[in-house]
Amino acid sequence: MSQVRVHNFSVSLDGFGTGDGITVDAPFGHAGERLHEWMFATRFWRSMVGVPGGSTGIDNVFAEQHSIGFGAEIMGRGKFSASTGPWTGIGTDDEWRGWWGSNPPFHTPVFVLTHHARPSIEMEGGTVFHFVDASPAEALDLARDAAGDLDVRIGGGPAMLRDFLAAGLVDVAHVVQVPILLGRGVRLWDGLDALDERYAIEAVSSPSGVTHLTLTRR
């Protein structure tokens, strides 16, 4: 059976996966890009955005796994949009197509968890955003059907990833601990007591200062 995997999910030392005050101009709130600077420096990321160079060390090895072997992704609405509630049409909200431009980096069906229905959006490069009101298990069934024999990526944000971990639906999770303190935002680990009893956890330190944590279901 295909696996359910998480890759390149960054958290601060105090466990926040995103900052406070998320807006269209600040997708990670007051955290800015600090949670992801390690990834932006890799050759993998730079090649995705058409910039030469980049690091080729341990950070790049982990970052590359983000694009290998996936046939679908599940993300929370907060990863797709800064707005909440109904798709009201205020400003450009009813036409919002994500932060990634006309050719998002997913290239698969993407299931966006939301309580508010919206027609699917087909983008360039094979990405199709489907907006579903579903439990984690129901969303996973949809994603598995779309992915076929390939794996399903859980893309975040922290609240929905926490729900998938709590439900025991994740096989492998790569979480990157970044040496910053955010103080506020949305935490990943809250309510996940004794997670280490269900997952074997390996840690690899990088010269960039981050620590790569790999959680594998026992």
pLDDT for residue 94: 60
Q: What's the domain count of the chain? A: 1
Average pLDDT over residues 120-148: 96
- Is 158 contained in some domain? yes
Residue 95 lies in a domain: no
* Rounded Cα distance, 108 and 73, in Å: 7
Q: What pTM did the predictor assign?
A: 0.93
**137 lies in some domain:** yes
Higher pLDDT, 94 or 216: 216
Is the per-residue pLDDT at 4 higher than 80? yes
Structural domain range at position 199: 4-85+105-217
Instruction: For residue 94, give the 3-state DSSP assignment.
Output: helix
Return the SS3 of 125. helix
Total number of residues shown for the chain = 218
Within a domain: 59: yes
Q: Give the model confidence (pLDDT) of 56-96 as tens digits.
A: 999 999 999 999 999 999 999 999 988 888 876 544 456 78
Q: Is residue 17 part of a domain?
A: yes
User: CA-CA distance, 113 to 124, in Å (whole number)?
Assistant: 21
Q: What's the average model confidence in pLDDT over 194-198?
A: 94
Instruction: Report d(CA 137, CA 23) in Å as an integer.
Output: 29
Confidence of residue 47 (pLDDT cuts 50, 70, 90): very high
Please give the mean pLDDT across all residues of the chain.
Answer: 94
Instruction: Say what the pLDDT of residue 92 is.
Output: 45
Residues 145-159 have pLDDT tens digits of 999 999 999 998 999
Return the CATH number at 71.
Answer: 3.40.430.10
